[in-house]
DNA sequence: GAAATGTATGTTAGCGGAAACATGCGGGGA
DNA sequence: TCCCCGCATGTTTCCGCTAACATACATTTC
């Protein structure tokens, strides 16, 4: 920077002003400085700037695992949004399912120099109300409003209700459930909503079978479920497991949808091309991610005394997409 | 830090020594300093350290898009590996498909303070030999060795050859190909290998149909491909498109594998549960990611004069997984 | 026309650490 | 016994940049 200043015949401070956009600098001076910068290939040292200003231009994302298609969509939207606002994104993966682990990850990130943090809380933790250090603004991506921090997510309950209602309206007596893993937040919520909706409709609530989101677990679950003859409708907690259910049905000679109706969750891109095309609940995670970053960046850039940023909690409503894997139960026409 | 020093009755420098592990500090002093740190909740300021040392403890990942399942697996391995070595990971998504765009992303990241960069080069660029600034160590995740930089990737050609050979050995006259998008590196490589292998075996090379990796595009491609009666074997460039192919076959009344054999690529977790279970080529991207980080960190931490880090180029060999979507062509028993 | 006001730029002083060098202490060899 | 040496710790300085204040000059105001 000193070299640039010398070459342009100004002080370092003026160079700094040029770099940081428009303070009051004469057009002529600015041009001189800029050409000097270009000539010398000057590039600001972020660490020095951060040390002087206390801001880093980075936001941190804490998540439990990247392999879940779900989470990746959120992360993608976060990265895109952050880049659009001139921030970069730092990723941290949490080890275990306790609040302590999450807190450690957040602290690691703040130590690491971020201006804000987004926690994608997909796992069921030991504490229902996640309390995290607030050294920097923090936003949670989760599907419930029970947090002390601003939260954005999907209205999973609405999705599960839509799935159940759809099957009941087709005339099924009840709906069986292939649940996600007990340790997963979304899984728990989908399962609870399924159960509540059945009860509310005065139907029997058959014991759910839990999988681990994988197609294999859906297959195994369905094999057990379909051992009995009375199952006419299955609601799988995600599309991947629904694939397994479809496969199990095929192997057991149960035709879908004539003998068995199947509903998934997520609307992954292959859903319309399964055999048969899968009725499922579409989630718009990109919107969730976008809202998270935008809220976070607004808080980061808000003037210091701007009050305790209203803890908005917005939940995106998923949408039932009816395809060909659902029909009235056997022996019944509607 | 000054507070800690005062509380422990030592100089700041000694605190610094304690923080940075074992310089020569008496056990007694160390304990005093550590308890002072804990008592005061001291946390090092990364920016200051970076300013003083010129190192950041962060590695950057440059990629074209996160939504490809493929890339995410690499990123996941990178994040895990980086964390294990005490590094955090910064993510950058590239806009366009030119070398300039990639270079800008890398520069943005190095401006942003990273000690090393991994470029996941999935897109076909305007320049065959990517030349990137080497201000920091840089590793490329790609499936060919044509780079000036250390490169790790899959041996896609071997995978495509295995798929073709498998189908030819079953007795098919030739193999049709549903290719990935022209702008994709892996797609281009799989397609080239498919074509080469057919030629080498003295078979006709039917014109490939290109999709965009999505199930829908596989479906559309298959619809066109299966319009003729002479197609007995299809090699899809990924599993997603293979799903579409399977669906198209079902709608056209072509039984798989009796009338039509289908091979995919990737071995996504749903592959064994499609109808029928998909024969495909398994890729181990986690290994690729792991190798990338490990090589990168080794270079970052190598002593300055350690020579020009041998540009190792290692390619992981994929593995053909035969399931039930392939069989001898109709009217032929083997 | 002198003072008040405004604008462009320079000066000074850190931000929080870590190298590089300086200091003081104790122990071993002659 | 004295001196040299090595080790634990302290001092100084600088990393590169920016906030806050200072300065110099131009412009407006009465």
Q: Residue B247: which of A72, A89, A275 has the nearest Cβ?
A: A275
User: A277 to chain B: which residues are within 8 Å by CB?
Assistant: 247
Q: Chain A residues with CB inside 8 Å of B216's CB? A: 269, 272-273
Query: Which residue spans of chain B are classified as CATH 3.40.50.2300?
Result: 56-154+285-316, 156-283
Mark yes or no for CB contact A79/B72 under 8 Å.
Answer: no
Mean pLDDT of B222-239: 94
Determine the average pLDDT of the residues in A104-108. 89
Res B71: pLDDT = 86
Q: Check residue B334 and give its pLDDT.
A: 47
Where is pLDDT greater, at B135 or B138? B138
| Residue range A198-207: mean pLDDT, rounded | 97
- Closest-CA distance, B44 to chain A, in angstroms, reads 7
What is the pLDDT at residue A334? 47
Classify B307 as helix, strand or coil. coil
Measured CA to C1', the nucleotide nearest A32 is C9
Quickly count helices (H) and strands (E) in chain A.
11, 12
pLDDT reading at A141 higher than 80: yes
What chain A residue is nearest to B109 in terms of C-alpha separation? Answer: A88
Closest CA to A175 of A228, A235, A245, A237: A235
CA/C1' separation B27–C27 (Å): 19
The side-by-side arrangement of strands in the sheet containing B58-63 is: A313-316, A151-154, A138-141, A116-120, A58-63, A88-93, B88-93, B58-63, B116-120, B138-141, B151-154, B313-316
Q: How far apart are the C-alpha atoms of B242 and B18, rounded to whole Å? A: 57
Indicate the burial class of A129 (C-beta count within 10 angstroms; 0-12, 13-18, 19 or more). exposed
CB nearest A111 (choices: B43, B90, B218):
B43
State the sign of the Cα–Cα–Cα–Cα dihedral A299, A57, A138, B77: positive
Q: Render A177-197 in DSSP notation, one character per residue.
A: EEE--TTBHHHHHHHHHHHHH
Q: Do A247 and B275 touch (CB under 8 A)?
A: yes
User: What confidence tens digit (pLDDT) does each residue in B56-83 have?
Assistant: 999 999 999 887 788 899 999 999 999 9
Q: Note the CA–C1' distance, B119 to C14, in angstroms.
A: 38
Range list of H helices, chain A: 2-8, 12-19, 27-40, 46-53, 69-84, 99-111, 156-169, 185-200, 215-225, 239-251, 285-301
Q: Which of B69, B88, B219, B254 has the highest number of chain A CBs within 10 A, making it the mutation to test binding with A?
A: B88
Taking the C1' atom of C15, which residue's CA lies nearest?
Answer: A52
Q: Is A237 on the interface with B (CB under 8 A)?
A: no
- Contact yes or no for B112 and A88 at CB 8 A: yes
Where in chain A do CATH 3.40.50.2300 domains reside? 57-154+285-317, 156-283
Q: Across-strand partners of B315? A: B153
- Model confidence at B306, pLDDT cuts 50, 70, 90, reads low
Please give, rounded to a whole number of angstroms, the shortest distance from the CA of A80 to a CA of chain B. Answer: 7
Q: Looking at chain B, which residues constitute the CATH 1.10.260.40 domain(s)? A: 2-44
Cross-sheet strand order for the sheet of A233-236 = A209-210, A176-179, A233-236, A261-263
**Chain B contact set for A250 (CB, 8 A):** 275
Q: How far is CA B37 from CA A120, B18, B30, B34, B41, in A?
A: 31, 10, 10, 5, 6
Measuring CA to CA, which residue among A82, A132, A137, A75 is closest to residue A107?
Answer: A132
The percentage of chain B sitting over the pLDDT mark of 70, rounded to a whole number, equals: 96
* Residue A95: pLDDT over 50: yes
Query: Which residues have CB under 8 Å from B170's CB, separation 6+?
Result: B233, B261, B326, B327, B328, B329, B334
Residue B272 DSSP one-character state? G
Beta bridge mates, B177: B235
The closest alpha carbon to B37, from B70, B14, B63, belongs to B14
Nearest nucleotide to B28 (CA to C1') is D8
Cβ pair B214:A269 closer than 8 A: yes
Nearest to A93 by CA among A118, A116, A63: A63
CA distance B189 to B193: 6
What is the distance between the alpha carbons of residues B267 and B279, in angstroms, rounded to a whole number? 8
Strand C nucleotides in reach of protein CB atoms, 7 A cut-off: 7-12, 14-20
| CB-CB contact of B109 with B90 (8 Å) | yes
User: Contacts of residue A69 in chain B, CB cutoff 8 Å?
Assistant: 69
For B180-209, what is each residue's pLDDT tens digit?
999 999 999 999 999 999 999 999 999 999
Query: Taking the CB of residue B228, how many other CB atoms lie within 10 A of it?
Result: 9
Distance from CA of B131 to the nearest CA of A (A): 18
Cβ within 8 Å of B, A 200-219:
214-216, 218-219
Q: Does residue B44 carry a pLDDT above 70? A: yes
**Residues A243, A222 contacting (CB under 8 angstroms):** no
Cβ–Cβ contact A96 with B under 8 A: no
Ramachandran area for residue A253 (φ above 0: left; ψ -120 to 50: alpha; else beta): left
How far off is chain B from A173, nearest CA to CA, in Å?
28
pLDDT-based confidence at residue A204 (cuts at 50, 70, 90): very high
Strands B58-63 and B88-93: parallel
Q: What is the pLDDT of residue A276?
A: 96
- Sign of torsion over alpha carbons B102, B106, B111, B113: positive
pLDDT of residue A312: 67
Average pLDDT, chain A: 91
Question: Residue A204: CA atoms inside 13 Å, Cβ hemisphere, count?
Answer: 9
For the domain made up of A156-283, the CATH class stated in words is alpha beta
CA distance B285 to chain A (A): 12
Query: If you compute the radius of gyration of chain A from its CA atoms, what whole number of angstroms results?
Result: 26
| Domain A57-154+285-317, CATH among 3.40.718.10, 1.10.3470.10, 3.40.50.2300, 3.30.420.40 | 3.40.50.2300
Torsion of CA B75, B80, B85, B91, to 10 degrees: 30
Taking CA–CA distances from B271, the nearest residue in chain A reads: A215
Q: How far is C-alpha B112 from the chain's CA centre?
A: 23
User: What's residue B215's pLDDT?
Assistant: 97
Q: Find all residues with CB under 8 Å of B147, minimum gap 6, and list them.
A: B129, B130, B140, B313
DSSP β-bridge partners for residue B120: B141
User: Using the CA of B11, which nucleotide's C1' is the nearest one?
Assistant: D10
**pLDDT class for A19, splitting at 50, 70, 90?**
confident
Judged by a CB distance cut-off of 8 A, whether residue B109 touches chain A is yes
Mean pLDDT, chain B, rounded, equals 91
- Distance of alpha carbon A204 from alpha carbon A219, whole angstroms: 24
Architecture of the structural domain at B56-154+285-316: 3-Layer(aba) Sandwich (3.40)
Spatial CA neighbour of B240 closest among B178, B311, B304? B178
pLDDT in tens, A231-241: 999 999 999 99
Q: How many C-beta atoms lie closer than 10 Å to residue B206's C-beta?
A: 17
Q: Are A141 and A118 spatial neighbours (Cβ–Cβ below 8 Å)?
A: yes
Confidence at A310, pLDDT banded by 50, 70, 90? low
Query: Is B88 in Cβ contact with A88 (below 8 Å)?
Result: no
Q: What is the CATH number of domain B2-44?
A: 1.10.260.40
């Amino acid at each position: 920077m000193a070299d640039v200043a010398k070459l342009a015949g100004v002080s370092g401070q003026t160079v700094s002003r040029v770099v940081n956009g428009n303070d009051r600098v004469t057009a002529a001076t600015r041009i001189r400085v800029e050409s000097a910068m270009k000539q010398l290939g000057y590039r600001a040292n972020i660490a020095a700037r951060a040390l002087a200003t206390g801001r880093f231009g980075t936001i941190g994302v804490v998540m439990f695992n990247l392999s879940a298609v779900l989470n990746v969509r959120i992360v993608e939207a976060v990265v895109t949004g952050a880049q659009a606002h001139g921030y970069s994104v730092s990723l941290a993966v949490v080890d275990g399912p306790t609040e302590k682990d999450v807190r450690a990850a957040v602290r690691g990130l703040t130590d690491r120099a971020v201006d804000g943090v987004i926690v994608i809380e997909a796992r069921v933790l030991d504490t229902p109300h996640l309390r995290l250090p607030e050294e920097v603004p923090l936003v949670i991506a989760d599907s419930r409003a029970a947090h002390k921090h601003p939260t954005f997510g999907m209205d999973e309950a609405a999705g599960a209700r839509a799935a159940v209602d759809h099957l009941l309206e087709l005339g099924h007596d009840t709906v069986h459930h292939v649940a996600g893993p007990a340790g997963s937040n979304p899984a728990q919520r989908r399962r609870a909503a399924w159960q509540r909706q059945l009860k509310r409709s005065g139907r029997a609530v058959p014991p759910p079978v839990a999988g681990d989101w994988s197609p294999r677990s859906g297959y195994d679950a369905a094999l057990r479920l379909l051992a009995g003859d009375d199952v006419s409708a299955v609601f799988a907690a995600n599309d991947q497991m629904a694939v397994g259910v479809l496969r199990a049905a095929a192997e057991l000679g149960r035709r879908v949808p004539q003998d068995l109706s199947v509903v998934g969750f997520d609307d992954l891109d292959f859903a319309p091309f399964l055999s048969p095309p899968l009725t499922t609940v579409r989630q718009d995670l990109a919107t969730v991610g976008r809202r998270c970053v935008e809220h976070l960046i607004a808080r980061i850039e808000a003037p210091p005394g701007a009050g305790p940023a209203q803890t908005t909690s917005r939940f995106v409503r998923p949408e039932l997409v009816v395809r060909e894997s659902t029909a009235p139960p056997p022996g019944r026409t509607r």
